[in-house]
Amino acid sequence: MNRLLALLPAAVLTVSTVLVACASDSDSAQPSGARLASQYGCAACHGSHGEGGVGPKWVGLYGSTVTLSDGSTAVVDRAYLARAITDPDAQIPKGVTVKMPKSNLSDADVQALVDYIISLK
């Protein structure tokens, strides 16, 4: 009996490791912003990992300065990203030819997407 009890911590650790490994393969292990980008179709234009496509790339976007279609520039901060998601016609980056659809995302979802974009360095 004592031998079995001695093996218990190792067994629990093994089961825990397996459960964590399985969880990391599921969508629940992704940051919520990444899940939302996939769920709402953002990744279809901005790339599955924010690398870009027909829409601007998100990787390295935060903190950069973008030139807008009217020739002005804007620094990509939290406010810019949130506005780009909620009102995509407000400041269209130069060279973007595919119109981004408006969304009705909750404030929490917008902030999760902004956090995700910021994380893509």
d(CA 21, CA 107): 31
Give percent of the chain with pLDDT exceeding 90. 70
Q: Is there a contact between 112 and 50 (Cβ–Cβ < 8 Å)? A: no
pLDDT of residue 25 exceeding 50 = no
Query: From start to end of 45-95, where are the E strands?
Result: 65-67, 73-75
* Residue 69 pLDDT exceeds 50: yes
Rounded CA-CA distance 113/91 in Å is 18
Distance of CA 99 to the CA centre of its chain: 20
The mean predicted confidence, pLDDT, of the chain is: 83
> How much is the pLDDT for 31?
73
5 vs 50: which has the higher pLDDT: 50
* Cβ-contact 99, 113 below 8 angstroms: no
Superfamily covering domain 32-119: Cytochrome c-like domain (1.10.760.10)
Q: Where are the domains of the chain?
A: 1-30, 32-119
C-alpha pair distances (Å), 108 with each of 4, 17, 82: 48, 31, 11
**Looking at residue 93, what DSSP letter applies?**
B
SS3 19: helix
The mean pLDDT value for 59-66 works out to 97
- Report pLDDT digits (tens) over 74-116: 999 999 999 999 999 999 999 998 999 988 999 999 999 999 9
> What confidence tier does 5 reach under pLDDT thresholds 50, 70, 90?
very low
E strand segments, the chain: 65-67, 73-75
